[in-house]
Chain A
Amino acid sequence: MGFGEQFLTEPALFPARLAGATAGDLSLAVDVPGGPYLIQGLSRSQLEALSERYGERCLGSSALEASIALEVFAALPNEFIGIDRTGWTNTLDFDYGEHAVRIAGDRVMAQIAWRPELTAALWTPPEAGDGFLERFENCFRILVAYRLLELGGVVLHSSGVVSAGKAWVFFGHSGAGKTTIARRSLSTGRTVLSDDINALFIDDCVTYAAKMPFAGELGHTNERIGPFPLAALNRIEHAATEWWRPLSTAQAVAALLSCAPFLNTDPYRLPRLMANLEALARGARTGALGFSLGGDIWATLEAPST
């Protein structure tokens, strides 16, 4: 199946330019890692939905100029193929190009482009209800990933926990235990950044982890905390008892690649992604952590010998 054929009634008519009719002329700036991001072309109901969604992350008008732009255009419902969502896993089609990435999904089209600055647009039926937030966020998180890439960072499928003022990031395949570790850490009084996606970036030779507004089951708040200097990156796996061992830089890069969504399948940006991951792995203590169902990972992680 070619690009967009699963989702679009006429894939060949995918917008060639970042243009179109908007649902409104309202804007909202949000403070998300790599931003701020300026979301434009909103109707009143879309603005209200996004304002409620991003809460404290919404910025005043002074932030409107120094932002990465994301324009929201109105698409007609008949531009999209109706999806039977029963048992359907939310997926997206990607078409990677040197200067732009096209995205198609359930009732949404989007394009992330370098013109030469990073900019983005999405087209979706304008009704604020009926899944607008989900469609918007599916595209927005991809824009954030590309933005962090150009800042030398990465978005990582991971669990982020703050302990003694530093961030510990746990990554692994689906089902490896990211949410379990987050939940257990929360019960010990530690702060959870997110149990789904976290941002990593380097600033002035220090690696930081930042809270993203895209959480899974835990960390779903817009509390503006951090970023936090990174204590360690840990690839996690189930084990009979707790253990930790260091990873080589190459092992860390390979493990991180598998957990870097959206970008690890983009052939044009892969070299940059690998370079960023190598820099992140070199700049942090990186290891593999085995954890058991009833064990205390923090005793292992914070032991002087680890």
Chain B
Amino acid sequence: MISDETVLHRLSDVRFRAVEDETVVIRQEAAEALVLNEVAGRILELVDGRSTAAEIVGTLLDEYAIDADALRADVLSYLNELVETGVLTAPDS
């Protein structure tokens, strides 16, 4: 389960590209692609293998005028989903 202190990594075969206000993500080894909305795409951009989930939330709070608790819940939810779909990995969680 992802917590505030979890550091996430993109899997090595993951590539992504912003297309208008969405993000297309491809897992090359499986030749599978998915679409993320604007916020999820920005979250994916911020996953750099060093930042914690809390730091990602902090960055997004500066960018979006959203309630902090709601944003944190959404970010953790998105991160879990991205782990489950094989886009991210959370080695220490």
Contacts and interface: CB of A to CB of B under 8 A. Distances in A.
A278 interface: yes
A258 interface: yes
Nearest to B25: A254
Interface residues of A, number: 16
A257 B26 contact: yes
> Which size bracket describes the interface of B in this complex?
10 to 19
Nearest to B34: A254
What secondary structure prevails in chain B residues at the interface with A?
A: strand
A249 B31 CA distance: 19
Give the residue among B20, B25, B29, B33 with the most A Cβ atoms within 10 A.
B33
Contacts of B13: 267
Interface string A245-269: 0001111011101100000110100
Nearest to B15: A270
A257 B29 contact: no
Contacts of A271: 15, 17
Contacts of A267: 13, 15, 28
A254 B35 contact: yes
Nearest to B29: A265
A270 B26 contact: yes
Interface string A268-289: 0011001000100000000000
A80 B14 CA distance: 33
Interface of B: 13, 15, 17, 19-20, 22-26, 28-29, 31-35
